[in-house]
């Protein structure tokens, strides 16, 4: 065996035999999925196929009924796992923006830097503006969410996730709450993040994005992966 074959890096995120039941209804049925560093994996499939539940299990917003989740070589389902530390490294962007309406964009992004990472306020503000710059909103740091479009609010939510410097970002239908004319600006940010090497797992119905930006596409139905491969 060659050295290159023997020394291939382990997956960044490795899901093994994941199952999830709500009562008697099993919504995820034995999913195995490994995601490599710098890979963009797009998860598609009909509504109710288990896509969002699978995504939420990746950082334990939903607890698996059965299975293992390995992240950066550690089993994050093990007793004593520091969930806050895990979630700092596994970022999440939701359908709804979940911004604090009384805070401006900069402060929405800086909040976790101050309270979770314990950064001094001045440094947190600088890092927040840098994160906003990455999503094209460096000039809107003083704007309240009510002064931003839906697409801009979602980009602030993406900046908030990026500010914690996660190893991977999970996107749960990031454009589903947006008017059609605003979808493009959010997808453009995801493409830029991909070009910069961010590891991402994206649940979305945007077929054009999956085809044009993903390294790999996963098709789910009835809680199972039915097919996977290049776009």
Does 68 score more than 90 pLDDT? Answer: yes
Taking the C-alpha atoms of residue 58 and residue 48, their distance in angstroms, rounded to an integer, is 18
Q: What is the pLDDT of residue 186?
A: 93
Per-residue confidence at 6, pLDDT binned at 50, 70, 90? very low
What pTM was computed for the model? 0.92
Taking the C-alpha atoms of residue 174 and residue 172, their distance in angstroms, rounded to an integer, is 5
Long-range CB contacts (< 8 A, 24+ apart) of 127-130? Answer: 127/163, 128/159, 128/163, 130/163
Structural contact between residues 89 and 70, judged by C-beta atoms closer than 8 angstroms? no
Query: What secondary structure letter does DSSP report for 64?
Result: -
Tens-digit pLDDT profile for residues 170-222:
999 999 889 888 899 999 999 999 999 999 999 998 899 999 999 999 999 99
Per-residue confidence at 169, pLDDT binned at 50, 70, 90? very high
Element containing residue 113 per DSSP (H, E) = helix 105-115
Taking the C-alpha atoms of residue 151 and residue 213, their distance in angstroms, rounded to an integer, is 19
Dihedral angle computed from the Cα positions of residues 6, 11, 16 and 21, in that order, rounded to the nearest 10 degrees: -170
């Amino acid at each position: 065996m060659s050295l290159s074959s023997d020394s291939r890096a382990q997956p960044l995120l490795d899901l093994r035999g994941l199952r999830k039941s709500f009562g008697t209804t099993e919504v995820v049925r034995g999913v195995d999925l490994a995601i490599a560093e710098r890979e963009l994996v797009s998860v598609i499939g009909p509504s109710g196929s288990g896509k969002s539940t699978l995504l939420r299990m990746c950082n334990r917003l939903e607890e698996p009924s059965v299975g293992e989740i390995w992240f950066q070589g550690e089993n994050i389902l093990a007793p004593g796992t520091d969930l806050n530390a895990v979630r700092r490294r596994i970022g999440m962007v939701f359908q709804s923006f979940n911004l604090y309406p009384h805070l401006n964009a900069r402060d929405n992004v800086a909040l976790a830097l101050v309270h979770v990472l314990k950064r001094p306020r001045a440094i947190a503000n600088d890092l927040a503006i840098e994160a906003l710059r990455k999503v094209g909103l460096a000039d809107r740091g003083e704007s309240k969410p009510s002064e931003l479009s839906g697409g801009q609010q979602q980009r602030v939510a993406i900046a908030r996730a990026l500010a914690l410097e996660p190893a991977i970002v999970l996107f749960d239908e990031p454009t589903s709450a947006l008017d059609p004319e605003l979808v493009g600006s959010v997808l453009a940010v995801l493409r830029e993040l991909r070009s910069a090497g961010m590891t991402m797992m994206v649940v979305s119905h945007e077929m054009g994005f999956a085809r044009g930006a993903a390294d790999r596409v996963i098709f789910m139905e009835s809680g199972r992966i039915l097919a996977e491969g290049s776009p």
